[in-house]
Amino acid sequence: MSTVMKQERAVAINPTRSCAPIGAMLSAFGVHGALTINHGSQGCASYPRHQMARHFREPIEVATTSLTEKTTVYGGKENLIAALRNVWDRFHPTMITVCSTCLSETIGDDIPAIIEEFQDNNPEVEIPIISVKTPSYIGTHITGFDLFLKEVAMRLPVKSRKGDTNGKVNIIPGWVNPGDIRELKHLLREMDVQPLFLTDYADTLDGGYYNPRPHFPQGGTTVEELQDSSRSVASIALQKHIGGEAAKVYKKRHNVPAHILPMPIGLANTDTFLATLTEITGKEVPLELQRERARLLDAIVDTHMFNTGLKVAIFGDPDLVHGLARFVTEMGMIPRFVLTAADSKAWGDDMLALSEELGVEMDIMYKTDLHELHKRMKAEPVSVVIGHSKGKFLTDDEKVPLIRVGFPIEDRFGYHRRAVVGYRGGMYLVDEITNTILTQRGNIVSNTLMELEDADTPVMNGGCGSNGGGCGG
């Protein structure tokens, strides 16, 4: 029987989360020509820049108001006004996002009022300037990402006349990698659907090398497109916990139908995404995508003898974990432990419903750290762990392979370009998971798994061939 638990321990040991400002900063990179000002100390900008640079391997430009002991006592208003002026004079961005921090929220700076005063005194700065409340003592990195999207949905779209549409579909992918955004674009091109991404950092955070260097990275959704997003025929949020609220804002304010879907990982979830596009546009799934689906199904069938029955631990962002749990079950594996740092009972309830639907027993943990996962893995070993680089410590200790998915991945190169969404992303995952397990377990001879004599017990847990005979003929 599946169980749901929330960690009660006050201290987090090896947490899987990052701070809220990093989420807002990352999403803002998906707006072409936009810049972010972090209203806090220099470290509050340096840490997110460092974390994103290690994952995306790109220069991360974020301004800071550099609050000090003096501004902590007397307020940071003058620093923020100076930062706004400097950013405008030096860069002339298309939009400015001001992220609050623990310090600026604690001292009580009224950031929207400061921005309004700046705009009144500087009428030549005719660009949107939005503020996002992102102190790190509320939520995690996904909180900041979600609040930014909601703020964009509330502030930027221009009111349109009833029945006046641009024929586009608002796509809110949530926290994904540039490779995922490109895969979503591939699916939409094949469906002949014109998307409007909220937001699109596929090129801004995975760009090319150009000489001379452009003033701003190429790519990103333009401010004009965001202003026009109120005229779209529908909004699709592909992550419930990051973007679902923004889709509801479009529905409430602009009567744009909202569709909040599971992250399109694997067969069923990608089917749901394409079926929703068909429902919105009336366009059928083309032959090429049907072929991709057939290849994914074939890959699952081809590898089932090596994966069926193996237990898996999955950690990361709520929607990513939910999608991966369904997908590994499609592969015949058992998602034994699922964990997120987000404080979301709703996610726990969703995972419990998923476990009942799939007929698998899960330990479901929210607002939980990797120390708790490590304890459970010691008591009940698993064959593989799926999550980001912070899981390498426990997987090294337990000699279990780590499939790197999510953010941050800082000990490998190029993973931000790999897609896990869509049918092609599913094929990548099937290959990556199966090959990792085979490397750990032994050699394949005539499609039969020959177990290593010193193979670790956790990797031989369940599945075909666990006694050395394999399942092949």
300 and 387 inside one domain? yes
SS (H, E, C) the chain: CCEEEECCCCCCCCCCCCCHHHHHHHHHCCECCEEEEEECCHHHHHHHHHHHHHHHCCCCCCEECCCCHHHHHHCCHHHHHHHHHHHHHHHCCCEEEEEECHHHHHHCCCHHHHHHHHHHHCCCCCCCEEEECCCCCCCCHHHHHHHHHHHHHHHCCCCCCCCCCCCCEEEECCCCCHHHHHHHHHHHHHCCCCEEECCCCCCCCCCCCCCCCCCCCCCCECHHHHHHHHHCCEEEECCCCCCHHHHHHHHHHHCCCEEECCCCEHHHHHHHHHHHHHHHHCCCCCHHHHHHHHHHHHHHHHHHHHHCCCEEEEECCHHHHHHHHHHHHHCCCEEEEEEECCCCHHHHHHHHHHHHHHCCCCEEEECCCHHHHHHHHHHCCCCEEEECHHHHHHHHHHCCCEEECCCCCCCCCCHHHCCCCHHHHHHHHHHHHHHHHHHHHEEEECCEEEECCCCCHHHHCCCCCCCCCCCCC
**Residue 444: predicted pLDDT:** 67
Rounded CA separation 432/409 (Å): 15
Q: Specify whether 119 is located in the same domain as 244.
A: no
- The predicted-structure confidence for 351-410, as pLDDT tens digits, reads as follows 999 999 999 999 999 999 999 999 999 999 999 999 999 999 999 999 999 999 999 999
**Number of domains observed in the structure of the chain:** 3
Q: In whole angstroms, how large is the CA radius of gyration of the chain?
A: 23
Q: Retrieve residue 468's tokens.
A: 């050395």
> What integer best gives the mean pLDDT of the chain?
92
Instruction: Kindly state whether residue 12 falls inside one of the protein's structural domains.
Output: no
Identify whether 103 is part of a domain: yes
pLDDT surpassing 70 at residue 461? no
Cα distance between residue 68 and residue 72, in whole Å:
6
| The overall pTM is greater than 0.75 | yes
Please check whether residues 303 and 428 belong to one and the same domain.
yes
Q: How confident is the model at residue 441 (pLDDT cuts 50, 70, 90)?
A: confident
Whether 466 shows a pLDDT value over 60: the answer reads no
Question: Which CATH number is 329's domain given?
Answer: 3.40.50.1980
Interatomic CA distance for residues 275 and 247, integer angstroms: 18
Residue 454 has what pLDDT? 55
Q: Extract the tokens encoding 325.
A: 């749990």
Over 60: is that where the pLDDT of 463 sits?
no
- pLDDT exceeding 90 applies to what percent of the chain? 82
């919105």: which residue's tokens?
Answer: 280
Q: Check whether the bond before 212 is cis (ω within 30° of 0).
A: yes
Nearest to 389 by CA among 366, 412, 417: 412
Q: Are residues 130 and 261 in the same domain?
A: no
pLDDT higher than threshold 50 for residue 473: no
List the structure tokens of 290.
């049907």
Q: Does the pLDDT at position 292 exceed 80?
A: yes
Residue 15 lies in a domain: no
Q: Does residue 176 sit in the same domain as residue 301?
A: no
Tokens representing residue 120 in the block:
């009144």
Whose CA is closest to 147, among 119, 117, 111, 116? 111
- Which domain, by its residues, includes 245? 169-283
Which of the four pLDDT bands, split at 50, 70 and 90, describes residue 11?
Answer: confident
Distance (Å, whole) CA 283 – CA 276: 10
Torsion of CA 426, 16, 397, 385, to 10 degrees: -20
User: For residue 162, is it within any domain?
Assistant: no
Is residue 30 located within the same domain as residue 123?
yes
Over residues 217-227, the pLDDT tens digits come to 999 999 999 99
Assess whether pLDDT exceeds 70 at residue 453: no
Predicted pLDDT at 172 = 98
Domain termination site, one of 264, 283, 302: 283
Per the domain annotation, does 355 fall within a domain? yes
Flag whether 8 is in a domain: no
Residues 373 and 445 in one domain: yes
d(CA 74, CA 236): 44
User: In terms of domains, do 110 and 179 share one?
Assistant: no
* The last residue of a domain, from among 266, 283, 300: 283
What gap in Å lies between CA 64 and CA 35, rounded to an integer? 11
- Whether residue 9 is predicted with pLDDT greater than 90 in this model: the reply is no
Whole-angstrom distance, CA of residue 165 vs CA of residue 177: 29
Same domain, 196 and 335: no
Q: Is residue 13 part of a domain?
A: no
Summarize pLDDT for 98-116 with one digit per residue, the tens. Answer: 999 999 999 999 999 999 9
Of the candidates 265, 283, 301, which is a domain's last residue?
A: 283
Do 262 and 310 have their domain in common? no
131: Cβ–Cβ under 8 A, 6 or more apart, which residues? 97, 98, 99, 100, 111, 112, 115, 151
- Are 267 and 343 contained in the same domain? no
> Do 261 and 303 fall within a single domain?
no
pLDDT at 200 over 60: yes
93 in any annotated domain: yes
Mean pLDDT of 169-188: 98
